[in-house]
Amino acid sequence: MAMQYKNVKKYDREIYNLIREEERRQKDGLELIPSESYASAAVLEALGSILNDKYAENYPGKRYYGGCETVDKVERLCQERALKVFRAQGYKVNVQPYSGSPANIEVYAGLLDFGDTIMALRLDHGGHLTHGSPVSFSGKAYKFIHYGVDPKTECLDYDEIARLAQKHKPKIILSGFTAYPRLIDFKKMHAIAKSVGAISMADISHISGLIIGGAHPSPFPFTDVVTTTTHKTLRGPRAAMIFSRKDKSIKIKDKNVLISEAIDKAVFPGMQGGPHEHTIAAIAVALHEAKKPEFRKFAEQVVKNAKVLAIAIQKEGLRLISGGTDNHLMLIDLRPFGPGRGKFIEKALEAVRISVNKSPIPNDPSPPFYPSGVRLGTPAITSRGMKEKEMRVIAGFIARVVREFSHVILPEEKSERATAVREFTQKLSRSQFVKKIGSEVKQFASRFPVPGIDTK
Ligand code: DSN
């Protein structure tokens, strides 16, 4: 065991037991949520360190608190590593954002006035809540023009994005998504932004580890602003970073301002208080790990595994959005069985110890809470050492479960939906089929160590 939790065990038995319960869930099951992965024991140790205790508002060398000499070194080291690992010469990086959603909003807040126009991918085609959903602060404070995927190919249509950019003249054009299984042409997106005088922005949260490992094209060194979380394919702590081009300025209230300075001010004091220096130290550890040749192999294997899993799932007769994947994730289109199956299939897979998440798909006839797709990916299982052979086995588990429960119907009446899901979940807990597959999954999964749990 990497972590003994000796003191938690002694002082708080309830939390100790819950940590152990989650360890068992992680070991006995298959984590296929594409935005999840496992942090190493070294990352977790830095995250649990006494750096937690230090206040350090503002940036290294100009803090509002005394005693920041050491945390200044921590933060500077993290910045240096981030710029190096992403080959982001010519950029400044802010490593203080608490997570991805604040990071995106901080960019908008730093560079725009309320009501300014941003272009981004629509939520049900793979965009993120902070890319202008009406339920997010982003959608309330800014005017979003959404582009979608092509109805036939279910891939980005760059000509259509260029046409919308010409028509709406946004201040920011955002790419980088949360449920898009294909490569993103960041060069094209930047050229479109440049052609209308917009800032190009890429949210690479999902694919940052693939970019470092050379398994996805990079938005550096041309995209004006790049945001990323640090806990997905990068395998660090839950946090985020914002990169901005040092040579790029914009007009704010008739004054030319460097975008990197405007963004720094938006992070602190604009939106955040004291940076979490323990988290920043843990990001630095994750970046150090990402420099190693093993990380490149990991990134390559994530994509190889995803491609094999996608082919195997399709061979089982299931439909994938866009017909497959180029990255770490894929979306199963459950519409051939009827609308609104996503929530039920998520629950059924969870009952057999496979974690995926329900997801809207392009042109989904159902609402986002009861969508018609599920999203899955390979970063976590790849970090447990699973390879192509295991992907075929996993595709078999998924297909058996989908086939068994594909007939479950989402009630048309909205008020009946929550009850239908509850009754379905109860039925799962009594199902012999679920018990059988669940124990097969457990036997299969427990052969593979979980980083952060099964380390010496
Ligand atoms: N919640 C993340 C995801 O699952 O894609 C994005 O922030």
Note whether residue 214 is domain-resident: yes
- Catalytic, 251? Answer no
- Centre of ligand 1 from the C-alpha of residue 176, in Å: 12
Residue 158's domain comprises 57-290
Atom of ligand 1 nearest to the CA of 179: 5
Please state, in angstroms and rounded to a whole number, the distance separating the CA atoms of residues 280 and 318: 42
418-425 long-range CB contacts below 8 Å, 24 or more apart?
Answer: 421/343, 421/344, 421/347, 424/344, 424/347, 424/348, 425/347, 425/351
Note whether residue 50 is domain-resident: no
Q: What's the token pair of residue 36? A: 């999840």
Q: Do both 269 and 358 map to the same domain?
A: no
Q: Do both 144 and 273 map to the same domain?
A: yes
Note whether residue 19 is domain-resident: no
Please state, in angstroms and rounded to a whole number, the distance separating the CA atoms of residues 414 and 209: 40
Note whether residue 46 is domain-resident: no
Taking alpha carbons only, the member of 361, 306, 374 closest to residue 154 is 361
- Centre of ligand 1 from the C-alpha of residue 366, in Å: 20
- Catalytic, 390? Answer no
Contact between 120 and 149 (Cβ < 8 Å): no
Atom of ligand 1 nearest to the CA of 130: 7
Question: What values do phi and psi take at 332, rounded to 5?
Answer: -85, 125
- Catalytic, 57? Answer yes
- Centre of ligand 1 from the C-alpha of residue 359, in Å: 11
Any residues with CB less than 8 A from the CB of 403 and at least 6 apart, and which? none
Q: Do both 312 and 286 map to the same domain?
A: no
Tell the burial category of 134 from Cβ atoms under 10 Å away from its Cβ (0-12, 13-18, 19+): exposed
Q: Do both 280 and 400 map to the same domain?
A: no
pLDDT of residue 2: 64
Name the pTM for this structure: 0.96
Q: Do both 204 and 134 map to the same domain?
A: yes
User: What's the CATH number where 427 sits?
Assistant: 3.90.1150.10
Q: Do both 231 and 340 map to the same domain?
A: no
Ligand 1, atom 3: nearest CA belongs to which residue? Answer: 35
Q: What's the token pair of residue 366? A: 């159902």
Atom of ligand 1 nearest to the CA of 357: 4
- Which residue, of 244, 267, 290, is where some domain finishes? 290
The reply to whether ligand 1 has any atom less than 6 angstroms from the CB of 35 is: yes
Contact between 208 and 171 (Cβ < 8 Å): no
Q: Do both 299 and 197 map to the same domain?
A: no
Note whether residue 303 is domain-resident: yes
Task: Give, for all 456 residues of the chain, the pLDDT tens digit.
Answer: 467 899 999 999 999 999 999 999 999 999 999 999 999 999 999 999 999 999 999 999 999 999 999 999 999 999 999 999 999 999 999 999 999 999 999 999 999 999 999 999 999 999 999 999 999 999 999 999 999 999 999 999 999 999 999 999 999 999 999 999 999 999 999 999 999 999 999 999 999 999 999 999 999 999 999 999 999 999 999 999 999 999 999 998 889 999 999 999 999 999 999 999 999 999 999 999 999 999 999 999 999 999 999 999 999 999 999 999 999 999 999 999 999 999 999 999 999 999 999 999 999 999 989 999 999 999 999 999 999 999 999 999 999 999 999 999 999 999 999 999 999 999 999 999 999 999 999 999 999 999 989 876
Q: Do both 284 and 306 map to the same domain?
A: no
Helix, coil or strand: residue 448? coil
pLDDT of residue 252: 87
- Which residue, of 290, 314, 339, is where some domain finishes? 290
Kindly write down the DSSP assignment for every residue of 156-173, as one continuous string.
Answer: B-HHHHHHHHHHH--SEE
- Catalytic, 382? Answer no
Q: How many domains does the chain have?
A: 2
Q: Do both 365 and 300 map to the same domain?
A: yes
Instruction: Give the active site residue among 9, 238, 248, 319.
Output: 238
Note whether residue 322 is domain-resident: yes
User: What's the CATH number where 181 sits?
Assistant: 3.40.640.10
Helix, coil or strand: residue 405? helix
Q: Do both 307 and 417 map to the same domain?
A: yes
- Catalytic, 55? Answer yes
- Centre of ligand 1 from the C-alpha of residue 35, in Å: 6
Ligand 1, atom 4: nearest CA belongs to which residue? Answer: 35
The reply to whether ligand 1 has any atom less than 6 angstroms from the CB of 178 is: yes
Any residues with CB less than 8 A from the CB of 98 and at least 6 apart, and which? 239, 240, 272, 276
Instruction: Give the active site residue among 36, 55, 143, 304.
Output: 55
pLDDT of residue 307: 98
Ligand 1, atom 7: nearest CA belongs to which residue? Answer: 100
Note whether residue 185 is domain-resident: yes
The conformation of residue 271, written as its DSSP 8-state character, comes to: I
pLDDT of residue 4: 86
Note whether residue 3 is domain-resident: no
pLDDT of residue 66: 97
Q: Do both 363 and 298 map to the same domain?
A: yes
pLDDT of residue 12: 98
- Which residue, of 258, 290, 322, is where some domain finishes? 290
Q: Do both 274 and 347 map to the same domain?
A: no
